[in-house]
Amino acid sequence: MARGGATRARDRFYALCVAPSLAVLAVITLAPAIYLLVTSFTPLDLTRPETAWNFARPFENYRQMPADSRLMNSLWVQAKLSFWTVTLQLLIGFGFALLLNMRSRFLEALRTVFLIPMVLPPIVVAIIWKVLYTPDISPLHWGTTLLGFTVPALITHPDWALTAIIIADTWQWFPFTMLMTLAALQMMPQEMVDAAKVDGASAWQMTWHVTLPFLKGVLLVAGLFRLIDSIKAFPLIFILTEGGPGSVTEVTNYYSFLQAFNFSFLGYSSAITVVMLAATVLMSWAIIRLVGWGQHGD
Amino acid sequence: MSEPRTGRRHLLLGASALGLGALAAPPVLGQARPFAGQTLNGAAFQSTFFEYLRAFFPEFEERTGAKLNFNTQAFPVYNQRTDLELSTRGSALDVINVTFIYSGRWIGAGWLTNLSEFVNDRNRTDPAWDAADFVSGAQSAMQDARGNTYGFAWEAGAMLMAASRADLIDQAGKAMPTTFDELIAACDAVQGKENMSAFVADQLHHWNWIPYLMGHGGKVFRDPPGNLTPELATPQAIRAAGWYAELLSKYGPSGVLSFSDDQAMRTQIAGRANFRTQAITWLVPLAKHADSTVKNTVRYALMPAGPQGNFPGSNSHGLGIPVGSRRKELAWEFIKWALSKEMLNRIVETRGYPSVCRRSVITGEAFKQAMTLNGQDVASLYLQVLELGGRSGYMKYRTVPVFPQVGDTINRGIARIATRQQDAQASMRQAQQDAIQVLQRAGVTLDAN
């Protein structure tokens, strides 16, 4: 009885300790999300104040979405961008982690060098690539011209503009997956490696049957982080292409930004953002269900 | 000798006289440094005008006692930030640039202070400041339908044509083009000569393309500002879009579709591109910029005319006061000071600023001297364009509140054609459809057909 009372008192104490943090979290996370949701049910247009709390047709923004060809195109662009950036970052990050998973001073120094793109401010990364992709000032274009062939201006070429963004994003973020994979590799039990060797596993078999299953959980987490981040892609697109040429690189996030801050359609932009948020949550949940979570230790 | 007696009655009489005097005199003029301790927050987009004006800021601070905190940003960044700030009716800014394409939107939404009240109050404005001296064409974008003024223009952009290497045109046996056909013929003649592209433009097609659209007989809106039904898929618009996209893709330098204003200007200054049609502000540096390699070969002309006439773009940017500002009196002092005849004349004389909007300055000797470029009288070309735009009112399309949205669809439509993603017809039909969607979302009533 006395023990039960002590437990309850302890729980109350813990709850009291956590309450301020939860309250702050609610204010800074939940309140804006609720406001976003509420706004999405209005035609809020900053140039027309009377639209602010107009709930006469609450689902009008959502009704308009399927007929908005630019929005539909932006979803497809988003899917391509996310697929290629996440895939490339996982593959390159995993590959580099395997190569760098050795004890050597040189490799340790190299690891630090590889981390530089990831710690640069996104806007700096965007400017670096803007310089590289602009023909009249680019060392890349200067070099290829010296070699006798001409590379088109990638960011204004409809076949290359999205690829240019994918290359820049992959360059910036593959160190993240490399870092996470490398950390997991260094915690891999030596017995597993030794047992595989005793069984006569080749290097390829070792990677496929031992290392990859062990890293599955880490790769999933890294992939999820990168997927969510790819949906938030903004600085590279803003600086390099502004969504163009035409709408070739206009992802949903950027389109939503244009609607809100260039055109003042905050209601419509909120509705797009709500759908994006719901899609991201659903997609993350589906991936976790599909691939499994925390199975790597088994 | 007896000392004059200073009794209570004398003191009261003196104090009353002082009080009455203070009431009768203009309140601002009655103080030596009336704004001491205040800070004026201003913002505008980057321009040579504010670069030049900044050098004189200490004089304003000395005269008023106020501190100036004036920031400039890149054009799109400035517009986005200010649009958002104005929409909240915030007090972070006291004086702002009233951007041409946003002027209708900002004035219509009631986000700017009515400056007519300041001008008409002689306690606030000395009639000698002469508000009527501003060129009416430049001021039209700063006024509402009732004639109230919400900004005073510091820049009038008049679109001209400049050839950075006119010597190459001469060598090819061509003259400066006066029609669209002649422009294409001249581009053909000089393309690739001395590794130069024949033509360059920046990526703001909704500014650069419109004179070509109108020259082909097209329009952006059916009858602005009353009828904003878009007209982007008419045969004339499709023909003009295809023509202009070809001009860019065939004669423009690699990557021209991503060029900013400054980048296009530097391409000309470096002698890597020949023709450009753009506002005078971006063309004068070809003759004056320290880095220019084409000072002795540049030549200016009016925009070439299309089959349906000549419609060079003209615009203006002004200084205004946000409705939420808490320092409106100080902001007005700043506007009066920055745009006074004296200050504008000083900027023209010392820096050769080419885009002033006061008639008395434009017709003055200093301006004519400053605008004689490579031996050519560019001042008269500038006035011709301003008069063209003011007379027929063809620039009305640009100051409607929804132009930013429609302008974006135009930019993307032209880019799609120039990059061969779609032909002119398909692309402009899509632009028309996109424009209808955004206009309906903005609550604009459109014609049924």
Q: How confident is the model at residue B32 (pLDDT cuts 50, 70, 90)?
A: low
Cβ pair A155:B108 closer than 8 A: no
Question: Which residues of A are less than 8 Å from B445 in CB distance?
Answer: none
Nearest to A46 among B87, B419, B422 (CB): B87
Query: Does residue A245 contact residue B419 with C-beta atoms inside 8 Å?
Result: yes
Q: Which residue of B has its CA nearest to A134?
A: B255
Give the mutation candidate from B195, B203, B249, B412 for the A interface (greatest A CB count, under 10 A).
B412
Q: Does the pLDDT at position B234 exceed 80?
A: yes
A252 SS3 class: helix
Cβ pair B258:A153 closer than 8 A: yes
Q: What is the CATH number of the domain that holds B264?
A: 3.40.190.10
CA dist B342 and B337 (Å) reads: 9
Residues B80 and B122 in one domain: yes
Neighbours of B64 (CB within 10 A): 22
Q: Residues B308-322: pLDDT tens digits?
A: 999 998 888 999 999
CA dist B445 and B440 (Å) reads: 7
Closest CA to A217 of A95, A225, A169: A225
Residues B264 and B220 in one domain: yes
Cβ pair A134:B255 closer than 8 A: yes
Q: Is it true that the peptide bond before B225 is cis, omega within 30 degrees of 0?
A: yes
Question: Which residues of A are less than 8 Å from B420 in CB distance?
Answer: 158
* B31 is a domain residue: no
Nearest to A47 among B105, B255, B272 (CB): B105
Closest Cα in chain A, distance from residue B317 (Å): 19
Per-residue pLDDT of chain A (298 residues; tens, 9 = 90+): 556 788 889 999 999 999 999 999 888 888 999 999 999 999 998 877 788 889 999 999 999 999 999 999 999 999 999 999 999 999 999 999 998 888 778 888 888 888 999 999 999 999 999 999 998 889 988 998 889 888 889 999 999 999 999 999 999 999 999 999 999 998 899 888 899 889 888 888 988 899 999 998 899 889 999 999 999 889 999 999 999 899 999 999 999 999 998 888 999 999 999 999 999 999 888 888 877 655 544 4
Cβ pair B441:A67 closer than 8 A: no
Residues B197 and B299 in one domain: yes
Phi/psi zone of residue B385: left (φ > 0), alpha (ψ -120 to 50 degrees), beta? Answer: alpha
Residues B207 and B299 in one domain: yes
Question: Which residues of B are less than 8 Å from A73 in CB distance?
Answer: none
Give the mutation candidate from A63, A257, A264, A268 for the B interface (greatest B CB count, under 10 A).
A264
- Amino acid A2: pLDDT: 59
Which positions in chain B have a beta carbon within 8 angstroms of at least one beta carbon in chain A?
A: 80, 83-84, 87, 105, 108-109, 203, 253-258, 263, 267, 272, 401, 404-405, 408, 411-413, 415-416, 418-422, 427, 430, 433-434, 437-438, 441-443
- Amino acid B392: pLDDT: 67
- Amino acid A109: pLDDT: 84
Cβ pair A245:B415 closer than 8 A: yes
Query: Does residue B281 contact residue B221 with C-beta atoms inside 8 Å?
Result: no
- Amino acid B264: pLDDT: 94
- Does A227 lie at the interface with B, CB-CB under 8 angstroms? no
Residues B189 and B97 in one domain: no
Neighbours of B294 (CB within 10 A): 22
* B381 is a domain residue: no
Query: Does residue A165 contact residue A122 with C-beta atoms inside 8 Å?
Result: no
Nearest to A265 among B263, B415, B441 (CB): B441
Nearest to B405 among A51, A156, A263 (CB): A263
Nearest to A156 among B405, B419, B427 (CB): B419
Query: Does residue B356 contact residue B156 with C-beta atoms inside 8 Å?
Result: yes
Q: Is it true that the peptide bond before A245 is cis, omega within 30 degrees of 0?
A: yes
Structure-block tokens of residue B164? 């950075």
* B6 is a domain residue: no
Beta strands B227-230 and B95-98, pairing class: unpaired
Residues B53 and B142 in one domain: yes
Task: Find the domain containing B206 and state its range.
Answer: 158-312+386-441
Q: Which of B287-291, B351-355, B360-364 has the lowest mean pLDDT?
A: B351-355
- Does A46 lie at the interface with B, CB-CB under 8 angstroms? yes
Which residues lie below 8 Å from residue A6, measured CB to CB, with a gap of 6+? Answer: none
Q: Does the pLDDT at position B199 exceed 70?
A: yes
Q: What is the pTM of this model?
A: 0.82
Structure-block tokens of residue B365? 């000797």
Closest Cα in chain A, distance from residue B76 (Å): 9
Q: Which residue of B has its CA nearest to A242?
A: B258
Domain count, chain B: 2
* B21 is a domain residue: no
Cβ pair A244:B257 closer than 8 A: yes
Give the mutation candidate from A123, A136, A137, A157 for the B interface (greatest B CB count, under 10 A).
A136
SS (H, E, C) B8-35: HHHHHHHHHHHHHHHHHCCCCCCCCCCC
Instruction: Write B78-86 long-range contacts (CB < 8 A, 24+).
Output: B78/B43, B78/B44, B78/B45, B78/B46, B79/B45, B79/B404, B80/A261, B80/A262, B81/B43, B82/B43, B83/A46, B83/A261, B83/A262, B83/A264, B84/A46, B84/A261, B85/B322, B86/B111, B86/B112, B86/B322, B86/B323, B86/B324
Q: At what angle do helices A105-119 and A161-185 cross, to 10 degrees?
A: 140
* B343 is a domain residue: yes
* B377 is a domain residue: no
Instruction: Write A115-122 long-range contacts (CB < 8 A, 24+).
Output: A115/A175, A115/A179, A116/A175, A117/A171, A117/A172, A117/A173, A117/A175, A118/A172, A118/A173, A118/A175, A118/A176, A118/A179, A120/A172, A122/A172, A122/A234, A122/A235, A122/A236
Cβ pair A136:B83 closer than 8 A: no
Question: Which residues of B are less than 8 Å from A264 in CB distance?
Answer: 83, 87
Cβ pair B272:A136 closer than 8 A: yes
Residues B413 and B437 in one domain: yes
Residues B95 and B113 in one domain: yes
CA dist B292 and B280 (Å) reads: 16
Question: Which residues of A are less than 8 Å from B253 in CB distance?
Answer: 135-136
Residues B166 and B306 in one domain: yes
Q: Does the pLDDT at position B5 exceed 50?
A: no
Query: Does residue B146 contact residue B355 with C-beta atoms inside 8 Å?
Result: no
Phi/psi zone of residue B6: left (φ > 0), alpha (ψ -120 to 50 degrees), beta? Answer: beta
CA dist B437 and B445 (Å) reads: 11
- Amino acid B28: pLDDT: 46
What residue ranges define each of the domains in chain A, with the CATH number in brackets?
68-291 (1.10.3720.10)
Cβ pair A244:B272 closer than 8 A: no
Q: Which of B23-32, B83-92, B202-211, B355-364 has the lowest mean pLDDT?
A: B23-32
Give the mutation candidate from B75, B441, B444 for the A interface (greatest A CB count, under 10 A).
B441
Cβ pair B405:A262 closer than 8 A: yes
Question: Which residues of A are less than 8 Å from B200 in CB distance?
Answer: none
pLDDT above 90: percentage of residues in chain B: 67
CA dist B43 and B94 (Å) reads: 8
Cβ pair B87:A244 closer than 8 A: no
Query: Does residue B315 contact residue B103 with C-beta atoms inside 8 Å?
Result: no
Structure-block tokens of residue A254? 């950027």
Residues B98 and B188 in one domain: no
Q: CA distances (Å), B211 to each of A104, B61, B184, B391, in order? A: 66, 42, 15, 16
- Amino acid B113: pLDDT: 97
Question: Which residues of A are less than 8 Å from B258 in CB distance?
Answer: 134, 153, 155-156, 241, 244
Q: Which residue of B has its CA nearest to A133?
A: B255
- Does A111 lie at the interface with B, CB-CB under 8 angstroms? no
Q: What is the DSSP string of A201-247?
A: --HHHIIIIIIHHHHHHHHHHHHHHHHHHHHT--HHHHHHTTT-STT
Residues B188 and B286 in one domain: yes
Q: Which residue of B has its CA nearest to A71?
A: B434
Which residues lie below 8 Å from residue B183, measured CB to CB, with a gap of 6+? Answer: B177, B247, B275, B304
Average pLDDT over residues B233-246: 98
CA dist A234 and A108 (Å) reads: 32
Neighbours of A39 (CB within 10 A): 21
Structure-block tokens of residue A111? 């690891």
Nearest to B441 among A153, A156, A268 (CB): A268
Residues B210 and B287 in one domain: yes
CA dist B124 and B228 (Å) reads: 39
Q: Residues B62-96: pLDDT tens digits?
A: 999 999 999 998 887 898 889 889 988 999 999 99
* B22 is a domain residue: no
Q: Does the pLDDT at position B126 exceed 70?
A: yes
CA dist B159 and B313 (Å) reads: 5
In the predicted model, what is the mean pLDDT of chain B?
89
* B350 is a domain residue: yes
- Amino acid B390: pLDDT: 62
- Residues 261-280 on A with a CB inside 8 Å of B are 261-265, 268
- Does A115 lie at the interface with B, CB-CB under 8 angstroms? no
